[in-house]
Amino acid sequence: MQAIIFDLDGTLVETAPDLHLVLSEVMQTLGLSAPPLSAVRGMIGDGARALLDRALAAAGQERTSQEIDHLYAEFIDRYTSEPCRTSHLYDGVTTALEEVRAQGAKLGVCTNKPQRPSELLLEALNISQFFDAVVGGDALDIRKPHPGHLQTTLDRMGADRCDAVMVGDSQNDLLTARALGVPCILVSFGYTSVPARELGPDRVIDGFGELCQALGEVRSSA
């Protein structure tokens, strides 16, 4: 039985506008402006604390670890209270999830986004029922690109890595999959500073209508 593990932000869901909105609110408390949305897209993928660090660095600001802790807590509180103001699924996501589920695949989410807002987002977008496990970036002492994050997701899915395929949008996802010996499909439209095709994954898809074919090709070449 195939196991398919998805990244969340930039893979299943367009979350950048909401993240940018919350980032702007938090930075306004410091009298600062957030970087433009186009820049923030390239800062997403390593969790909210890294996003804050990068945004502050872009503004030429240095803060103590204690100050960052406070800003991070405020960011998470604001975001968790309303994680889906404008976020939306990419075209074809629901249909693709229905198709792979109908074929008997187990599905999981392995994301560096914190656990609670990840769960709330999936529920708000009406796709939480498709997933056997969701493991957020604060659920463990490790996170992507550490392969243990992906392995734990597989364990909670009741799946084996020999049957697994990772679907993501960035180098983080590819490195995680490679470290565990798992094939990786990247979407071409996510949040990455390096174009997906230049990263050299097993397959690249330009939309979720291509997912089933890509999964079949990866499976047949294994």
Q: Where do the domains of the chain lie? A: 3-14+87-221, 16-81
In this prediction, residue 209 carries a pLDDT of: 98
Q: Please enumerate, by residue number, every residue annotated as part of a binding site.
A: 7, 9, 169
Of 7, 53, 138, 173, which is the active-site residue? 7
Residue 196's Cα: distance from chain center in Å? 15
Q: Does 16-81 match 3-14+87-221 at the fold level?
A: no
**DSSP structural state of residue 7:** -
**Domain 16-81 fold:** DNA polymerase; domain 1 (1.10.150)
Q: 7 an active-site residue?
A: yes
Place of tokens 């490679």: 178
Query: H helices within the chain, ranges in order?
Result: 16-28, 37-41, 48-58, 65-81, 93-102, 115-124, 147-157, 171-180, 196-199, 211-221
Per-residue pLDDT of the chain (222 residues; tens, 9 = 90+): 799 999 999 999 999 999 999 999 999 999 999 999 999 998 998 888 999 999 999 999 888 889 999 999 999 999 999 999 999 999 999 999 999 999 999 999 999 999 999 999 999 999 999 999 999 999 999 999 999 999 999 999 999 999 999 999 999 999 999 999 999 999 999 999 899 999 999 999 999 999 999 999 998 886
Q: Which of 130, 159, 154 is nearest to 1 (CA)?
A: 159
Which pTM does this prediction carry? 0.94
Annotated binding site for Mg(2+), which residues?
Answer: 7, 9, 169
Other Cβ atoms closer than 10 A to 157: 23
The pLDDT, as a whole number, for residue 47 is 84
- Predicted pLDDT of residue 137: 94
3-class secondary-structure state, position 211: helix
109 burial type by CB count under 10 A (0-12 exposed, 13-18 middle, 19+ buried) = buried
- CATH class for the domain made up of 3-14+87-221: alpha beta
Report the pLDDT value the prediction gives residue 101, as an integer from 0 to 100: 97
**Which residues are 176's β-sheet partners?**
none
